[in-house]
Amino acid sequence: MGAESLGVYNRSPMLSILIVNWNTRDLLRKCLHSIEEFPPSEPFEIVVLDNASGDRSAEMVSAEFPRVTLLASAINTGYAAGNNLAFAAASGDFLLTLNPDTELVDFSLDQALSLLRTNSKIGSIGAKQISPDGSIQRSVRGFPSIVGIAGDLLGIASGPFGSYRLPNFDYEVEQLAPQPMGTFLMLRREALASVGDAQSPLDESFPIFFNEVDLLFRLDQAGWKCLYSPRVRIMHHGGEGTKQVKRAMIWESHRSLVRFLAKHRVHWWNAPLYWLVFGIVYLGAFARARGYSAGFRS
């Protein structure tokens, strides 16, 4: 059943699907076709923000998916700013941030919408992410803290030391989850409005990484929990955009971790300890990237 037959681009969509794309044209095409194959039963819209791709992604969307709302940026705005532009153009009561390197494999959009409708205190839904080979990706983490990061650095997975990587998280059990990766994150507009501007919910000081972690943390602090459900499933090819600029993205991910900690965890009484942690994080970035990079804008 095609999207057109369902009135997908209804003037009053219940769900807005937001996709930020950069140089992943062929995967984006598969993603959009999968939405057409497994559309939700309620009216919805698709907004694609193309970040000045050099692979003619925008032209492909315009030619092959004319009913998609295409926002073609003249520059690479980054993930957070690109999503904010898509949020501003969206009108649904529920909003899904979806990476272009994903594919729907069943009618999980209806499942996610049902979970939000029947759980009024849940602000967001995370999905089980499956690799093309069928393996389950470890896509849920805790909010970063000094204890959790210490456990990660020291290889200690028990108790509070495992609170960041969550090595014992059971991906077959529906449960509250601090921060599923933003690859698939269905959000309630009401929840977004309670912590800021629902048309610009992401903090753009986190241009690529940790913007959804920051948002989920703010939602959590306001009482809006995130629910992980194995009944909501997607195929995720994995980091196809960021792989293109690996060294820059290593540095950007480490910088964004420091930004998150500085924003939410540092106080006058623990600042010296966190400065030490920040130094260790940056040394880790230098080692992993085998040198320095300016990050997103490099």
Token pair for 241: 């955009």
Token pair for 76: 């690479």
The CA distance from 222 to 208, in Å, is 24
Check residue 295 and give its pLDDT. 80
DSSP E strand boundaries for 109-204: 122-130, 140-141, 175-176, 179-180, 184-188
Q: Are 190 and 182 in contact (CB under 8 A)?
A: no
How much is the mean pLDDT over the chain? 93
Q: φ and ψ at 28, to 5 degrees?
A: -60, -40
Q: Which pTM was predicted? A: 0.94
Residue entry with tokens 């994903």? 102
State mean pLDDT over 146-167: 90
Token pair for 199: 């048309």
Check residue 9 and give its pLDDT. 53
The CA distance from 33 to 27, in Å, is 10
- Alpha-carbon separation of residue 108 from 40, 198, 235, 249, 255 (angstroms): 8, 24, 11, 30, 34
DSSP E strand boundaries for the chain: 15-21, 44-51, 69-73, 94-98, 102-104, 122-130, 140-141, 175-176, 179-180, 184-188, 225-236
Cross-strand bridge partners of residue 97: 18, 185
Check residue 6 and give its pLDDT. 40
Candidates 135, 122, 133; CA nearest to 180 is: 122
The CA distance from 97 to 90, in Å, is 11
State mean pLDDT over 117-143: 97
Give me the sign of the Cα torsion angle 114, 118, 123, 127: negative
Q: Does residue 2 register a pLDDT over 80?
A: no
State mean pLDDT over 160-169: 94
Check residue 191 and give its pLDDT. 98
Q: Does residue 241 register a pLDDT over 70?
A: no
Query: How many Cα atoms are found within 13 Å in the side-chain-facing hemisphere of 286?
Result: 6
Q: Does residue 135 register a pLDDT over 70?
A: yes
Q: What number does CATH give the domain 4-136+171-240?
A: 3.90.550.10
The CA distance from 9 to 113, in Å, is 17
Q: Give the range among 10-14, 75-79, 187-191 with minimum mean pLDDT.
A: 10-14
Check residue 48 and give its pLDDT. 98
Length of the chain: 298
For 23-42, write each residue's pLDDT tens digit: 999 999 999 999 999 999 99
Per-residue pLDDT band at 246 (split at 50, 70, 90): confident
Q: Does residue 7 register a pLDDT over 70?
A: no
- Alpha-carbon separation of residue 293 from 19, 244, 247, 287 (angstroms): 27, 14, 7, 12
Q: Does residue 242 register a pLDDT over 80?
A: no
Number of Cβ atoms within 10 Å of the Cβ of 54 = 9
State mean pLDDT over 196-225: 97
Q: Percentage of the chain with pLDDT > 90?
A: 85
Per-residue pLDDT band at 10 (split at 50, 70, 90): low
Q: Are 13 and 91 in contact (CB under 8 A)?
A: yes
Check residue 5 and give its pLDDT. 35
Check residue 294 and give its pLDDT. 82
Q: Give the range among 63-77, 98-112, 223-237, 272-286 with minimum mean pLDDT.
A: 272-286
